[in-house]
């Protein structure tokens, strides 16, 4: 080419600009257009998905309420040595009185009370009771505040109350996370809670193993169904596919309630068992409101999520592989196990990830059929969100759940390889 005589410099486009810049310019329009096309979705996801998640995750460490509501007290307490066993000085009490007066006027004193109550039960009532009179405090003339406050509520004489306020005065805290793993901040740093107060770790373990068990039952039940779906003539497989998809078109609540009817002690299954004499009338099986009930109902509900990826992978495996294996001398079982099964692993992997991740965060079914022993960690999260209003703890539990899923996903990628996952 005639305009390429100067080979030492950068490659030039026909009009003399460097080829790289020319290319970038040509691509920029395309990229911009692509970005514009996806921007509504991007915006929607950002506002409705990513920001709420980020906000919830932040709540799990957010502790600004203490320093915002009790700024003077936090300041005054900073020099106090909690391990001395002595009560703080008058200045601290005076600061607390001033803070309480302001807080009571803004009606925020109960909020900081409930916040501190998570860490030290009883704090809520101290703040509520003292707060009742706080609006009438005359900070200048009402002293000395040490005696005044203790007289109003003798819990102020407990150094532990002040220790709790001091410990939870920074704007961020690990308290919710420690709480979520059954720990707390004691005099010597983090420590396990007494065994009677430990709930969340056991609940997390139970959630994990039940989800694993549900995933495994789904594999066992879905494999033959997917195989039949993939190998039937189209017309019959379409009919069967409708049966598989039917649960999707039925309300989740209806399906779960149906299990209640089937499984309860006066329910269909028990009635049948009693009728055929397998179980005596006074020893009806307890198969609902426990782990068994949750596993049965959730396996049923999540089964389509296992069948569909398996089916779409099996559909791509031509029957000639099995024939080839048999013609090479393999028995039916060997042909299946050595030739067919390994090729279906991507389907099993995809189904398992899908079912496991759905199961681990499942809420409605365990809530309805799980009783007390068959509930999941998500039920506790819901409890803290809507009943106890301890959003920080709920966020911490959610964050841990998210972390566990990510770790398992990473482990799966290491062991099986995420490239091996096929949804079709």
Q: Which residues bind another protein (CB under 8 A)?
A: 318, 320-321, 323-332, 334-335, 338-339, 342-343
Closest approach of Cβ 176 to another protein, in Å? Answer: 47
- Which of residues 169 and 344 has its CB atom nearest to another protein in the complex? 344
Q: Evaluate whether 206 touches 187 at the Cβ level (below 8 Å).
A: no
Smallest gap from Cβ 240 to another protein, in A, equals 22
| Residues 368, 85: Cα–Cα separation, whole Å | 49
| Residue 8: CA count within 13 A, CB half-sphere | 0
CB of 337 to another protein, least distance (A): 11
Q: What is the C-alpha to C-alpha distance for residues 265 and 376, in angstroms, rounded to an integer?
A: 23
For the chain, what's the residue count? 424
Q: Which of 249, 365, 246, 353 is nearest to 306 (CA)?
A: 353
Q: In degrees rounded to 5, what are phi and psi of residue 55?
A: -60, -45
Min. distance of Cβ 348 from another protein in angstroms? 14
- The smaller minimum CB distance to another protein, of residues 249 and 333, is found at 333
- Judged by beta carbon, residue 126 or residue 335, the one nearer another protein is 335
Smallest separation, CB 300 to another protein (Å): 32
For the chain, helix (H) and strand (E) counts, in that order, are 21, 2
Nearest to 420 by CA among 348, 323, 371, 354: 348
Select 43 or 328, whichever has its Cβ closest to another protein.
Answer: 328
Between 207 and 312, name the residue whose CB sits nearer to another protein: 312
Q: How far is the CB of 59 from another protein (least distance, A)?
A: 47
Rounded CA separation 210/378 (Å): 13
**What is the closest distance, in whole angstroms, from the C-beta atom of residue 351 to another protein in the complex?**
18
Torsion angles phi and psi, residue 299, rounded to 5: -60, -45
CB 333 within 8 A of CB 340: no
Q: Which is nearer to another protein, 78 or 331 (CB)?
A: 331
Distance CA 97, CA 94 (A): 5
18 or 417: CB nearest another protein: 417
């Amino acid at each position: 080419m005639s305009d390429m005589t100067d080979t030492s410099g950068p490659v030039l486009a026909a009009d003399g600009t460097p080829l790289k810049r020319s290319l970038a310019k040509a691509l920029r329009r395309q990229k911009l257009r692509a970005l514009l096309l996806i921007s509504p979705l991007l915006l929607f996801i950002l506002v409705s998905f990513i920001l709420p998640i980020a906000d919830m995750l932040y709540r799990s460490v957010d502790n600004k309420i203490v320093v915002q509501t009790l700024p003077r007290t936090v300041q005054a307490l900073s020099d106090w040595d909690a391990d001395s066993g002595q009560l703080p000085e008058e200045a601290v009490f005076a600061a607390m009185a001033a803070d309480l007066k302001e807080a009571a006027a803004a009606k925020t004193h109960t909020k900081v009370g409930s916040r501190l109550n998570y860490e030290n039960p009883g704090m809520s009532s101290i703040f509520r009771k003292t707060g009742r009179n706080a609006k009438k405090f005359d900070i200048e003339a009402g002293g000395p505040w040490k005696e005044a406050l203790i007289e109003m509520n003798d819990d102020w004489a407990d150094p532990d109350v002040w220790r709790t306020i001091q410990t939870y005065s920074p704007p961020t805290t690990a308290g919710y996370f420690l709480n979520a793993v059954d720990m707390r901040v004691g005099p010597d740093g983090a420590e396990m809670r007494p065994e009677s107060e430990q709930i969340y770790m056991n609940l997390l373990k139970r959630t994990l193993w039940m989800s694993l068990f549900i995933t495994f039952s789904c594999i066992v039940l879905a494999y033959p169904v997917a195989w039949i779906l993939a190998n039937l003539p189209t017309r019959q497989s379409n009919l069967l596919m409708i049966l598989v998809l039917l649960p999707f078109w039925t309300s989740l609540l209806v399906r779960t309630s149906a299990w209640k009817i089937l499984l309860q002690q006066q329910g269909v299954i028990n009635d049948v068992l009693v009728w055929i004499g397998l179980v005596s009338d006074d020893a009806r099986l307890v198969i609902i409101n426990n782990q068994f009930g949750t596993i049965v109902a959730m396996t049923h509900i999540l089964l389509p999520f296992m069948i569909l990826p398996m089916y779409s992978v099996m559909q791509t495996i031509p029957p000639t592989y099995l024939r080839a294996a048999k013609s090479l001398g393999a028995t039916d079982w060997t042909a299946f196990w050595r030739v067919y099964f390994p090729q279906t692993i991507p389907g099993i992997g995809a189904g398992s990830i899908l079912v496991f991740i759905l199961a681990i965060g499942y809420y409605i079914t365990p809530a309805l059929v799980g009783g007390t022993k068959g509930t999941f960690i998500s039920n506790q999260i819901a409890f803290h969100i809507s009943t106890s209003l301890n959003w920080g703890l709920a966020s911490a539990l959610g964050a841990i759940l998210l972390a566990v899923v990510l770790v398992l996903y990473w482990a799966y990628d290491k062991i099986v390889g995420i490239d091996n996952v096929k949804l079709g």
